[in-house]
Chain A
Amino acid sequence: MKNNIRVERARQRMTQQELAERTGVSRQTINAIEQGKFNPSTVLALKMSLVFGIPVNDIFELEDGD
């Protein structure tokens, strides 16, 4: 699964730490998601969507192998 978290963060001038605090996870978890090493739960994905103010589909997208 691909994600645009880093792009959205940059667009909103938000650090990983700020995003982590607003979604209730650790900064390392945000980093792991950005690197595509960890797939977040639906709840966390929806929280990110709320923080960024955009639909979940605009943050996460399925790849061919998924």
Chain B
Amino acid sequence: MRKQHLLPHAWQWVGLVALVAGLVLGFTFFVPSVIRGDYGTGEGIEILGELSYLLLLPLSAIILCFSRENIEDERIDELRKKCLVTTAIIFVILLIIGPLKGFFMGRLCSPTFMGKYQLLFGQSWWMLFVYLLIFKISYWVQNKRYSDEK
């Protein structure tokens, strides 16, 4: 990934604000509504929940994933590529075991639970957060490992 394709570092603050707003709105409106089972029935304030889950969280994930770090050099470039490959492998594994998971969950869980699970965790943009988690942890570990001058 070339650094000129990334957003400036300051955008990470925009992403963080969007993430916090998305989480607060999501856990206040969307998640309780899905768990209660009244999501999609037209009752309650659905627009705020949808705003968080369909707009703020994916948007914050995109901004946080594709904005530059403080110093974005070729080591960080390589780290990004490695983390992207790891995330892609996880995604492919999840795709492969998806039908298997559906088969067993279909027999073990009720269709209502399956619906709720799909609404909360079935969004493909969750993979952006997986990438973000892998990248941030690796970034922190590498910087800590190489921070002592010998």
| Contact surface of A with B, Cβ cutoff 8 Å | 6, 15-17, 24-29, 31-32, 34-35, 37-38, 40-41, 44
* B interface size (C-beta, 8 A): 13
Q: Are B78 and A25 in contact (CB under 8 A)?
A: no
Question: Could you name 15 residue pairs across A and B whose Cβ atoms are closer than 8 Å?
Answer: A6-B150, A16-B149, A17-B149, A25-B74, A25-B75, A26-B76, A28-B75, A28-B143, A29-B75, A29-B146, A31-B146, A32-B75, A35-B146, A40-B74, A44-B74
Q: Are B149 and A26 in contact (CB under 8 A)?
A: no
* Cα-based distance from A24 to B72 in the complex (angstroms): 10
Closest 4 CB pairs of A and B: A28-B146, A25-B73, A31-B146, A26-B71
B119 to chain A, nearest CB (A): 42
| Contact surface of B with A, Cβ cutoff 8 Å | 71, 73-76, 78, 142-143, 146-150
A2 to chain B, nearest CB (A): 16
Return chain B residues, CB-CB under 8 Å to A38.
Answer: 75, 78
Q: Are B147 and A24 in contact (CB under 8 A)?
A: no
Return chain A residues, CB-CB under 8 Å to B76.
Answer: 26
Q: Are B73 and A24 in contact (CB under 8 A)?
A: yes
A28 to chain B, nearest CB (A): 4
Chain B, residue nearest A25 (CB): B73
Q: Are A26 and B73 in contact (CB under 8 A)?
A: yes
Return chain B residues, CB-CB under 8 Å to A6.
Answer: 150
Return chain A residues, CB-CB under 8 Å to B78.
Answer: 38
Return chain A residues, CB-CB under 8 Å to B74.
Answer: 25, 29, 40-41, 44
